[in-house]
């Protein structure tokens, strides 16, 4: 017998993606199949999602879902069993999942994602004929109110799991929306959804779910501190018994250098020599000088302060001083985008920047750069460093969150026993990053040692097998 679970999220790869949340929501259900867990994933019916579905069938209707009629559509796509909330008054609009074409948050985001959570609770209570989940697994603030609707609805309900992918995004709404969001007055207190005088969707998930997970063990510890808890550390400490830090993985089929259509030549840990053609192709595509002996450093990231991109800008003189080259792919804060563009214009052939996101180029950077820079100030888990390990790009990471949990620093002890897979640095400052670049340069000069670390990296476990088993155990412990 398979164990039925409803996963609820605002995005899911390959249908709609703004970050790592989508990758996790898209990959975990497939990994759970080996654990006899059958996941159906509930998503908003954005135009980008509805436009890619084939053979979708309506399975439930809502006469009035936060301002208009809506229906649930059942479909399959890319191996995923989907439920899509088709609510045109909430989701049929231009722009991204959360913001308009000018980048401004939709003013009705509280209602839009309350509707997603309301639909999840309805499914959890048996709205679909012939299928009732035993667990509702909600992801981030956009699904945080699902636990509240199930908690305050009374009667039998499924178990609830809430995963924090990034505590910084909390889904706060003003208190006057309490009734409009269909929350009872009894919910508006410190033991319920109240958060700094308003309604906290993420707080609701943390407070009212049966179990909480974060996407790495270190991040689970960090968010229980005043420094990293974003005002929720007290609650998180109170719920320590319900908290589980479970590392994310990557989809090893989508990120497989031995069968990657974006690369000129397949390669793997047993045949790493094929990687050289990707190094050549990356330099050519990005317009970097054709100097095979100069290490190319890569960045595939949002260009934000959280990701430490301002620190990287400050360290560019040191990077160039070591004879390194830099290939950047990302988008984010206008000032940082402008800073990288200016650096590329000032150092043609040595720094190359592409603003935006390009899936094929992301794969080529992972396969063609020698080291990947991830200098994040905080990082719940991070997936880009896992892709780097798989593709043989040594991750250079800040010692925070999931970065600390997934990369083994090439210190003297780790090098001596052959365990190193990359470089860590702390604290997250420009000076510490410069120190990491100096260490990287020294390691690059010792090519036999570099190759040993690279081989270790490519053999490191980066998939979902172990973590999927932990999620399956967590689900079954609630039934």
Burial class (CB in 10 A: 0-12, 13-18, 19+), 156: exposed
The strand pairing partners of 212, in sequence order, are: 162, 243
Q: In angstroms, rounded to a whole number, what is the distance separating the alpha carbons of residues 403 and 436? A: 15
CA dihedral 439, 445, 446, 449 (to 10 degrees): 60
Q: What are phi and psi for residue 14, nearest 5 degrees?
A: -100, 15
Rg (the chain; Cα; Å): 23
Q: How many Cα atoms within 13 Å fall on the side-chain side of residue 23?
A: 22
Contact 7, 42 (CB under 8 A): yes
Q: What are phi and psi for residue 164, nearest 5 degrees?
A: -90, 115
- Give the strand pairing for 325-330 and 351-355: parallel
Tell me the torsion sign for CA atoms 366, 97, 200, 27. negative
Q: In angstroms, rounded to a whole number, what is the distance separating the alpha carbons of residues 380 and 169? A: 12
DSSP collapsed to 3 states, 223-247: CCCCCCCCCCHHHHHHCHHHEEECC
The strand pairing partners of 81, in sequence order, are: 40, 76
Strand order in the sheet with 394-398: 351-355, 325-330, 296-300, 371-374, 394-398, 423-425
Contact 22, 11 (CB under 8 A): yes
Q: Is 17 known as a binding-site position?
A: yes
- Give the strand pairing for 80-86 and 172-174: unpaired
Q: In angstroms, rounded to a whole number, what is the distance separating the alpha carbons of residues 275 and 266? A: 8
The helix (H) or strand (E) run that includes residue 269 is none
Q: In angstroms, rounded to a whole number, what is the distance separating the alpha carbons of residues 251 and 464? A: 7
Measure CA 371 to chain center: 21
Q: Name the one residue in this structure whose structure tokens are 């089929």.
A: 253
Helix (H, G, I), strand (E, B) or coil at 442: helix
Q: In angstroms, rounded to a whole number, what is the distance separating the alpha carbons of residues 353 and 340? A: 7
Q: In angstroms, rounded to a whole number, what is the distance separating the alpha carbons of residues 246 and 406? A: 12
The angle subtended at Cα 280 by Cα 277 and Cα 284, nearest 5°, is 135
Q: Name the one residue in this structure whose structure tokens are 């998939």.
A: 463
Residue numbers in the known binding site for ADP-alpha-D-glucose are: 17
Residue numbers in the known binding site are: 17
């Amino acid at each position: 017998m398979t164990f039925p679970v409803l996963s609820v999220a605002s995005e899911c790869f390959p249908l709609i993606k703004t970050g790592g949340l989508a990758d996790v929501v898209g990959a975990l259900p497939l990994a759970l199949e080996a654990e006899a867990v059958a996941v159906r994933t509930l998503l908003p019916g954005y135009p980008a999602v509805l436009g890619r579905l084939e053979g979708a069938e309506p399975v439930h209707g809502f006469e009035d879902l936060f301002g208009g009629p809506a229906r649930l559509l059942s479909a399959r796509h890319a191996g995923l069993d989907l439920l899509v909330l088709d609510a045109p008054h909430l989701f049929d609009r231009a722009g991204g999942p959360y913001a308009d074409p000018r980048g401004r948050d939709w003013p009705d985001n509280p209602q839009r994602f309350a509707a997603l959570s309301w639909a999840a609770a309805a499914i959890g209570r048996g709205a679909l004929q012939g299928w009732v989940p035993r667990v509702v697994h909600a992801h981030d603030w956009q699904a945080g109110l699902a636990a509240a609707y199930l908690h305050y609805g009374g009667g039998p309900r499924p178990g609830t799991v809430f995963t924090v992918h990034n505590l910084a995004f909390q889904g706060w709404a003003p208190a006057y929306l309490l009734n409009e969001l269909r929350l009872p007055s009894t919910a508006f207190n410190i033991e319920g959804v109240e958060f700094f005088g308003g309604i906290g969707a993420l707080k609701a998930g943390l407070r009212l779910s049966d179990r909480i997970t974060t996407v790495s063990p270190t991040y689970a510890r960090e968010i229980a501190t005043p420094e990293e808890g974003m005002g929720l550390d007290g609650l998180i400490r109170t719920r320590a018994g319900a908290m589980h830090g479970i590392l994310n993985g990557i989809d090893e089929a989508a990120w497989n250098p031995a069968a990657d259509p974006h690369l000129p030549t397949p390669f793997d840990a047993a045949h790493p020599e094929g990687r050289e053609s990707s190094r050549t192709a990356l330099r050519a595509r990005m317009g970097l000088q054709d100097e095979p002996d100069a290490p190319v450093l890569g960045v595939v990231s949002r260009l934000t302060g959280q990701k430490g991109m301002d620190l990287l800008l400050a360290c560019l003189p040191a990077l160039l001083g070591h004879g390194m080259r830099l290939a950047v792919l990302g988008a984010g804060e206008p000032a940082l985008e402008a800073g990288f563009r200016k650096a590329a214009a000032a150092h043609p052939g040595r720094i190359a920047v592409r603003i935006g996101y390009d899936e094929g180029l992301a794969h080529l950077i992972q396969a063609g750069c020698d080291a990947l820079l991830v200098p994040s100030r905080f990082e719940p888990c991070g997936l880009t460093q896992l892709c780097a390990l798989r593709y043989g790009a040594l991750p250079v990471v800040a010692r925070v969150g999931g970065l600390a949990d997934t990369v083994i620093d090439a210190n003297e002890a780790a090098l001596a026993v052959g365990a190193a897979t990359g470089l860590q640095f702390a604290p997250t400052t420009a000076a510490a990053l410069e120190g990491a670049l100096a260490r990287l340069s020294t390691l690059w000069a010792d090519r036999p040692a570099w190759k040993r670390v690279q081989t270790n990296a490519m053999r490191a476990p980066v998939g979902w097998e172990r973590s999927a088993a932990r999620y399956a155990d967590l689900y079954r412990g609630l039934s």
